[in-house]
Each structure stands twice: as C-alpha cells, then as structure tokens.
Amino acid sequence: MFCAINPDLDHLQDGQFDFHFSAKDNLTTVGLPTRAGSRILEGYRPAFDAHAVEAMRQAGGLLLGKTNMDEFGFGTFSTNSAFGVPRNPFDLDRSCGGSSGGAACATAVLDGHVALGVSTGGSISCPAAFCGVMGLTPTYGRVSRHGLLDYGNSLDKVGLISRRAADLEMHLRNIAGPDPRDPTSCAQPPMGKSAPVRSIAVPKDALEGVSDEVSRSFQDALDRLRDDLGLKVETVETPSFRFAMPSYYVLGCSEASTNLARYCGLRYGVQSEEITEHFDKYFSRIRSENFGREAKRRILLGTFARMVGFRDRYYMKALQVRELIIQEYQRVFQDHDLLLTPAMPFTAPRFDAIDDMDILEVYKADYLTIPPNISGMPHLSMPCGYAQGMPVGMQFVANHWQEGLLFDIAQRWEEAFRLRAPEVTA
C-alpha cells in the first residue's frame, strides 16, 4: 500500500508526534519520492511539500510514507500503478479501489491512521467504501492544491481518509483555508458549525444497476437513518445526473491531457543523460516508454475532445452540462440537507474479475461518485454494512461549503454503526 516510506522513521521518537499520517503519491513531499504511480516521474525530488502535507506536519503529524495509487489518478481499482498493486485487507484477492487505494488500505490496517487522499471523480469515496473506512472529499477549492500533481484542475480535491469521524473534522480544519499559492482556494467562506442534519434526499434511480448485496445494505442503512437517527428520508428526481459521467470523462481527460504534456524527459523525472534526438522524437519516445496504458488512453481521449472540430461538441458541451448538474444539486438542497446514494455499485471486485472488464464497464463503475465530483460538492463515504465479509459504502453529498453537515452525519452514524476492522494486520 505504501510506495515510499519515510527514510527517517527509524530515528524518530514515538512521543515526538501527535499522530501519524500518509500522503497519496501525487502530493509532493520533500525527502520522499513523488511519482503519482508513474514511471515517468522516477527520480523526481520535489523541492517543496504540498500544502496539505505541510499543514499536517505543522499540526504535529508524522508522515509515514507515500501511498500507492493509479497512475496520475487514472483508475478505479489501483491496478494502474507502475509500482505494484495494493490489496484489499478484507480479502487479498480483491481490489482496494482507486485511485487512492493505498491510502484507504493504510487507514484500514493502521490504527489511528489518517491518510491524505485526492479525488477527481471518486478516488476517495471508492477506496473508502471498498476498504470499509470513512472518506471525506471537501468542496472544490476548500483545500489548497499547491503541490498536487494535477489530473483535472477543475475537478481535483485533496481530502482525508480515516476510521474516526472526529479525525475527519479535526484534520480538515488543519488543511483547509485560503492559500495564495492556489487561487481557487481563495474563494472559500470559513468552515462553520452547522445545524444538525434533518432531511436526506435519495435519488429515485439510486439503486439502478447496483448489485443486490449493496442494495440490501443500503436499504437497511436507510431504515436505520430513519428509525434510529430520526431523519426524514425522501425520494427525489435527478434527471441530469445521467450526463455527469460523459461530461466528467470529457473534462477530466481534456484537462489531464494538457497537464501531462509537461512530462517529456526534460528537467525532472526520467531523463536521458545525453539527448541526441530531435525534440519531437525525444518527447514522443520518453512519453511512449514511460506512460502506462490508461494514461495513454486518457491523453488520447482528452486531446481528441479539445481538437478543432470536436471541441464544441465535447469540451464546450461538457462545461455547460456541469452547470446543469450543479443546478440540479442546488434544487435538491433547497429542501434537503444531504443527498444519499450507495458509494459504489458493488463491493470490492476480485482482481480476476477486473481483468475481464472492458473499458466502459470500468469507467461506468464510477457513476455514483462522479456527480458530486464534477460539481465540486463535498461528500462523505461511510461504511453502511458488510456483504459476505466485504464492506459496503454509502455516500452523503452536501451543498458547496457545507462540510459541517457531513461532520454531523459522520458522528451520528459512527455512534449507530459498528465499524469492523479487517483481520489482516500490517
């Protein structure tokens, strides 16, 4: 689950730190490699800590290491890393989920651990659900992205994975706030306390395409939210959510294909000692040799979606669709505090089953996590049951900047629901 361990761990005293944490490998760290799961960044030594890493260190945290991930965040199962595949602690033949798979895994097996994760389209909710831990993705712009290796700049959010609701709140307060090094973090209002959650909206088609076992756990959880927590649970219609997936892949890949243009064998990462090739040839060779398959696929898709002749149909349309989805959420939040769906349509799949999935099946696995992600809504993935020993997750979504509602529900659900730890130890 770790792809780099803090080299100073052995000399450090136990009492010196208040807590231990890890950082997803796409957050820069001084003294530890930062490769975002990609071979093309082999050898890169960042000169600065990412904002979130810096803030956690300042809060008294000990950085244990960097957690493994799908290359640049491109994946749902953490199987797209150049540095091995993390395994699910509840069943080693199954995936941790992705792309913050290592982060969720570390949280599941290390007591008291808190992991910095990053979500673009569901990369915190998904692994948190598969590994039976809590994953918080804050509002877009809540946490500075300074030091984050970009996937999609209008989608990326730095968040937290933990087993304790109180940790999520405490550490989000540590890492949130305006940072001049990331202008998009300067638009946020302060993070306040909120009134208790009273009503929850569930989309009418929330269980369409969801496996039976996940459906059953989710239905049970709904009953308990209603009966034990006394919440009002109502069904709502969200017709534009079906456009979220396609516009997410268009926007994410368009932005990613420009972000990844810089990786070319110059200045950092993989570099030839002597370059004897023409620049086009050299850049193409380095990129072709060192990007993984999924990275290439998304670069191709993104480059295509913004090319002359296709830009209006794909890129520009996707931008407009995002506005529709935001409006849809805001309509729901006029009458309800939170929106709830399962986090993933199935429990952590076996690796052999993943091998058999075609590209669309993989992409479509994220259809529940994408709507809040594309619209920048804060969301929380909480364990809501177990099916044949594997954790099932549900996902609460709040309006922009309303993380307070998520803290409230996290705490109340934590009291009502007994979290299981995997039987494997680190």
Q: Which of residues 299-328 bind another protein (CB under 8 A)?
A: 299-301, 303-304, 306-308, 311, 313-324, 326
- Give residues 215-244 in contact with another protein (rule: CB under 8 A): 240, 242-243
Using CB under 8 A as the binding rule, whether residue 264 contacts another protein is answered as: yes
**Smallest separation (angstroms) from another protein to the CB of 401:** 8
CA gap 296, 123 in Å, rounded: 19
Query: For another protein, which is the closer residue by CB, 28 or 123?
Result: 28
Q: Which one, of 318, 356, 156, 171, lies nearest residue 240 by Cα?
A: 318
Contacting another protein (CB under 8 A), which of 7, 8, 31, 45? 45
Instruction: State how far the Cα of 318 lies from the Cα of 254, in Å rounded to an integer.
Output: 10
CA distances from 98 to 105, 217, 323 (A): 10, 21, 26
Q: Is 190 in the site for another protein (CB under 8 A)?
A: no
> What DSSP string runs through 306-352?
TSTTTTIIIIIHHHHHHHHHHHHHHHHHHH-SEEEEESSSSSPPBHH
Q: Which is nearer to another protein, 396 or 401 (CB)?
A: 401
Long-range contacts (CB closer than 8 Å, 24 or more residues apart) made by 316-321: 317/247, 317/250, 318/246, 318/247, 318/248, 318/250, 318/251, 318/254, 319/247, 319/251, 321/240, 321/243, 321/244, 321/246, 321/247
Residue 140 or residue 396: which is nearer to another protein going by CB?
Answer: 140
Binders of another protein among 142-181, rule CB under 8 A? 145-150, 152-155, 180-181
- Specify the DSSP class assigned to residue 117: E
| Residue of 22, 38, 81, 99 marked catalytic | 99
Active site residue 157: no
Q: How far is the CB of 351 from another protein (least distance, A)?
A: 20
Q: Provide the greatest CA pair distance for the chain.
A: 71
Would you call 95 helix, strand, or coil by DSSP?
A: strand
**Taking the complex as a whole, how short is the minimal distance between the CB of residue 390 and another protein, in angstroms?**
28
Angle at 29 between CA 23 and CA 35, to 5 degrees: 80
DSSP β-ladder status, 338-342 and 199-203: parallel
Report the residue from 9, 12, 166, 187 that binds another protein according to the rule CB under 8 A.
187
Known active-site residue 24? yes
Q: Which residues pair with 202 in a beta bridge?
A: 235
Helix (H) or strand (E) holding 411: helix 403-416
Shortest reach from residue 66's CB to another protein, in Å: 13
Is residue 103 within 8 A of residue 110, CB to CB? The reply is no
Length reported for the chain? 426
Q: Which of 31, 58, 166, 279 is the binder for another protein (CB under 8 A)?
A: 279
Applying CB under 8 A, does 199 fall inside the site for another protein? no
Q: Is 359 in the site for another protein (CB under 8 A)?
A: yes
Minimum distance of another protein from residue 223's CB (angstroms) = 33
Q: Which stretch binds another protein (CB under 8 A): 1-9, 75-83, 104-112, 139-147?
A: 139-147
| Catalytic site includes residue 296 | no
Closer of 195 and 359 to another protein (Cβ): 359
- Quick check: 379 binds another protein (CB under 8 A)? no
Closer residue to another protein in complex, CB, 107/139: 139
Q: How far apart are CA 263 and CA 194, in angstroms?
A: 43
**CA–CA gap between residue 201 and residue 256 (Å, rounded):** 33
- Catalytic residue, chosen from 119, 123, 217, 254, is 123
Asked if residue 284 binds another protein (CB under 8 A), the reply is yes
Interaction of residue 56 with another protein, rule CB under 8 A? no
- The smaller minimum CB distance to another protein, of residues 10 and 308, is found at 308
**Closer residue to another protein in complex, CB, 133/149:** 149
Catalytic residues: 24, 99, 123
